Structure 1
Amino acid sequence: MTGERTQRRLVAILATDIVGYSRLVENDEAGTLAAIRSLRFNVIDPLLAKHNGRIVKLMGDGAIVEFGSVVDAATCAVARQYETAAAQAATPAERRIVFRMGINLGDVVVEGDDLLGDGVNVAARLEQLCDPGGVLLSGTVYDHLQGKLDLPLDFAGEQQVNNISRPVRAYRIRLNGSGRPWRLRLRQQRGRMRVPAAALVAAAVVGVVAWWMRPIEPPIAKASIAVLPFTNLGGDTATGRLADGISEDIITDLARFRGFEVIARNSSMA
């Protein structure tokens, strides 16, 4: 048998895209593109150089980036979210560039400068499930990050993603604090706290009396809305991304109104 042997390698893949890109461009094309170029020059490229990242491909508002280490990939992603937000502190919220990011560790096929295979696809699907301004990791990345990242990692469930038959274990980097999840904190406090039984009884009695004497206010009804995913009747990938983008733009626009609650994208897509 003759033929070329397929070249493969194990890499950490970071997939990113811009939240509400179509809306931003429609409202102010020149300003949006200028803001993206500024972030690329001042934030993204320096961080990629610092953490040994290589841009594999650019896809409109998205990108696939290769790292030789999951630690480099996660550290770069976190720094990019922080520095992107800091660079736009004076920019009105509706004009800010906000990224979603997904990271996976996988064995990929190498074709020239391009990378192909499930390792890339899973990272792209995680990015689509990620909250705006967040970073979502696969289970394989989580396993390799234990003890190597200062920020806590919260389990986000097993996700069923498009075109991947098996569920993907996902974890969310908690960017807004370094504390442990509340369940773990409660478990630790139980071991330290020793409160006399009489004090507990007295506190319970006071609490019941206070609850009984509380003023009763009529409940305030607040409507909720969920934007369900659009069905891709065409079946092609480009149309599928357009359908996802439309759902995302509607969610982003509705979230501006404080008169009702908008269900998060991850929940409505599931």
Structure 2
Amino acid sequence: MERRLAAILAADIVNYSRLMDEDEAAALRAIQRLREELLEPEVYRWRGVVAKRLGDGWLTEFSSVSDAINCAVQIQKSMAEEPVDLRIGVHVGDIVHSNDDIYGTGVNLASRLEAICQAGFVVASGEAMRLAKGTLNEPFHESGSAMLKNIEDPVQIWSWPKPLSEFAFLGERGGAKPRIFVVPFQSRSDEARDLADAISDDLRTSFSRQSGVVLVTSRELADFLLEGTVRGRGDHWRISVQLTDLDSRSSVWSEWFDELGDDLFSLQDRCVSRVAGAVRVRLPQLLSQKTESQPMESMDVEQLLNRAMNHNFTPSLVSWEESRKALELVLERDAENWMAMTMLCFNRIATGRIFGWRGITQGDAGLAKRMIEQACRIKPADHVVRMVRGAYFLYVERDTHAARLELEESLRLNPIFYHSIDSLSQVELYDGNFEEAKQLADRALDCDSAYPYRHLYHRDAGYADLMLEDFSSALDHFQRADRAAPDLPWNLIGMAVSRLHCGDREEARRTVASLMEAVPDFSLDQMESLPFQDRVHWNKISSALETLST
């Protein structure tokens, strides 16, 4: 391995994932134009070389730091009429070439500088500016200093064309979403290698669609590293995965899955769903733990969103009320935060749906409608927004047709989003399509065993089994839901009705007594019916409860 001193220019396309979601063909054309006509030719004109292409970014190497900085400015000038924006960082330091890759302090710091850069800017380190003094074609502006992630000392920041108004994120990443890098999964056999490559690709696609995480194409920019292996023998496959927190250099989650079968596409889909779902819920938990002793008033927007999501993972009314407070604080600071609007709508709907039995209050219904309609105007192509809008139509408007359209759109945007799968199972249930409801509920239950909403999926599968008159299976699902989230009204109601139909009237009565103990003001007369389109199906539940109450 050769080690040498060099200037590194790190460039990255701004909002690449969003651009790909909105118009993949246009985004790919823009990248091709950058490669063939703008960025790479300019690098070569300034005697640089392209050391590494990163999909939506570049690492380039120069022997002269002034050439690197002048090149960066010229690239940004040429981007004025382009449909995409770049961020560029420049630093000088040791680099190492190994196996067609490039490493070293020069690479790490250039990548960190690029990451705090605003769109259309060039950011250079104080060291690079010191070496280039008197040789630059454009004036740079001192922008203070910053503690960059995994860099021990503060770094002096210089920028062009003007001082940075703010850093895109700082070393502790308090104001930014977590960044994840998917390492290509490892394998040994050719067939396993194909599956490993496919799983890696699909995980990248899944994370690029998730609202609460940023997919990066370089481990130097990442907060978390996801890696794994695929091994196969005959039709038996084992997929092992590990999530590493790069701040602490520790493994924060690991799991392995055993799969049987020769349908590799189906196997691939199941694995990606489980892994992406598991990571999706663990990141807010991990990030929230880092600020658990911090008062909400001192948190920034992203920290508050993580706190709110983590509270939603605990099935208690007190925890969900804390989530509501965090979301309201976000909206006080950022009135256009579409994710906070979406989560607040879901919080108000689900608070009644999970913990209540009378249904959503009129005030909460009005708030939920305002929040989700505004969020949908701002972010219509987000799968979480469309899922929550579907939940609003289903549980507030009781409109299964409108709910179905929203949930199908959510699944078009993200086909492996468990909550949309489960919510669509509820639409099928209330429309009277019980077999379809059961199949979808079972798909949702294919999630990671520690998935925090799994108790809801068991409950919903239980009601599908209840309508199919598979009462023993229904009882099993309700019991599993109750063990995960004890004493919730709709779990106890399902358990009581299932036990009655299983012939255990005494145990069914004891379950109703447990319901009255958990919810002392429970009343059949005030209980809101589930939104079955055919009242006959709801009567099966209400009449059983009336029998047990006499």
Q: TM-score, normalised by structure 1?
A: 0.61
Shift of 1:127: 0.2
User: Which secondary structure state, in structure 2, belongs to the residue aligned with residue 157 of structure 1?
Assistant: strand
Q: Following TM superposition, by how much is the alpha carbon of 1:33 offset from its aligned partner in structure 2, in angstroms?
A: 0.4
* Alpha-carbon distance in structure 2 between the residues aligned to 1:63 and 1:103: 12
Per the alignment, residue 120 of structure 1 pairs with 107
Q: How many residues align?
A: 185
Tell me the equivalent position of 1:65. 60
Mapped contact 2:126–2:155 kept (Cα < 8 A): yes
Structure 2 equivalent of residue 23 of structure 1:
18
TM-score (norm 2): 0.31
**Residue 101 in 1 paired to residue 88 in 2?**
yes
Which residue of structure 1 lines up, in the alignment, with residue 224 of structure 2?
236
> How is 1:8-47 mapped onto 2 (pairs within 5 angstroms)?
8-47=3-42
Per mean C-alpha deviation after superposition, the further-off stretch among 118-127 and 50-59 is 50-59
Deviation at 1:236, TM superposition (A): 2.1
1:170 to 157, 179, 187: 157
- 2:545 equivalent in structure 1: none
What SS does structure 1 have at the residue aligned with 2:80? helix
Question: Which deviates further from its counterpart, 58-67 or 232-241?
Answer: 232-241
Letter in 1 for 2:136: L
In the alignment, is the contact (CA less than 8 A) between 2:31 and 2:56 conserved in 1? no
Provide the rounded CA distance (Å) in 2 between the counterparts of 1:107 and 1:160. Answer: 20
SS at match of 1:103: strand
Distance (whole Å) between structure 2 residues aligned to residue 47 and residue 233 of structure 1: 30
Alpha-carbon distance in 2 for matches of 1:110, 1:48: 19
Q: Higher relative CO (CA 8 A, sep ≥ 6), structure 1 or 2?
A: 1
For the pair 1:154 / 2:141, whether they are aligned, the reply is yes
Compare the two structures and name the one with the higher strand fraction. Answer: 1
1:145 aligns with 2:140: no
Deviates more, 1:108-117 or 1:232-241: 232-241
Amino acid at match of 2:74: A
Q: How far apart are residue 115 of structure 1 and its match?
A: 2.3
Q: Distance in 2 between matches of 1:65 and 1:232?
A: 22
Secondary structure at 1:85's aligned position in 2? coil
Question: In structure 2, do the counterparts of structure 1 residues 172 and 237 end up closer, same or farther at CA, with 3 Å as the change threshold?
Answer: farther
Q: Sequence identity of aligned pairs in percent?
A: 37
* Shift, 1:60, TM fit: 2.2
Query: In the TM superposition, what is the alpha-carbon distance from 1:175 to its structure 2 partner?
Result: 6.2
1:58-103, CA deviations, whole angstroms, 9 ceiling, x for partnerless residues?
A: 22211111011111111111111111214x3xxxxxxx21000000
Give 1:155 shift: 1.2
Q: CA deviation at 1:230?
A: 3.0
Out of 76, 80, 91, the position equivalent to 1:81 is: 76
Match of 1:53 in 2: 48
Q: Partners in 1 of 2:157 and 2:125 — Cα distance?
A: 5
Alignment-mate amino acid for residue 52 of structure 2: K
- Against the structure 1 CA distance between its residues 233 and 77, is the aligned structure 2 distance closer, same or farther, given a 3 Å change threshold? closer
Report if aligned partners of 1:78, 1:175 keep a CA contact under 8 Å in 2. Answer: no
Q: Is the 8 A contact 2:140 2:162 kept in 1?
A: no
Alignment check: 8 A CA contact 1:47 1:76 kept: yes
Q: Over residues 26-73 of structure 1, what are the superposed CA-to-partner deviations in whole Å (9 max), with x where a residue is unaligned?
A: 000011101221222111222122111111112221111101111111
Show the counterpart of 1:186.
none
Aligned to 2:118: 131
1:106 is displaced (CA, Å) by: 0.4
What SS does structure 1 have at the residue aligned with 2:119? coil
Q: CA deviation at 1:25?
A: 0.5
Q: What are the within-5 Å matches in structure 2 for residues 166-245 of structure 1?
A: 166-174=153-161, 228-231=175-178, 236-237=224-225
Point out where structure 1 has 5 or more consecutive residues left out of the alignment: 1-5, 89-95, 177-226, 248-258, 263-270
SS in 2 for 1:81: helix
Cα distance in 1 between the residues matched to 2:11 and 2:178: 23
Distance, in Å, in 2 between the alignment partners of 1:134 and 1:67 is 19
Structure 1 residue 116, shift from structure 2 partner:
1.1
How many Å apart are 1:260 and its aligned residue? 7.8
Residue identity in the other structure for 1:116: Y
RMSD, matched Cα: 3.0
The match for 2:518 is none
1:254 corresponding residue in structure 2: none
Give 1:261 shift. 9.8
Q: Matched residue of 1:119: which SS?
A: helix
- Alignment-mate amino acid for residue 177 of structure 2: F
Q: Distance in 1 between matches of 2:77 and 2:225?
A: 31
Tell me, in whole angstroms, the C-alpha distance in 2 between the residues paired with 1:28 and 1:11: 37
Alpha-carbon distance in structure 2 between the residues aligned to 1:173 and 1:231: 27
Match of 2:537 in 1: none
8 Å Cα contact 1:8/1:110 also seen in 2: yes
- Give unmatched runs, 5+ long, in structure 2: 164-173, 182-222, 227-242, 247-279, 284-301, 303-333, 338-550
Q: CA deviation at 1:168?
A: 1.1
- Within 2, Cα distance between the matches of 1:141 and 1:164? 16
Q: Shift of residue 20 of structure 1? A: 0.6
The higher radius of gyration belongs to 2
**CA-CA distance at 1:109 after TM superposition:** 2.2
Q: How far does the alpha carbon of each residue in 1:184-226 deviate from its partner, in whole angstroms, 9 at most, with x for none? A: xxxxxxxxxxxxxxxxxxxxxxxxxxxxxxxxxxxxxxxxxxx
Distance 2:120 2:142 in 1: 17
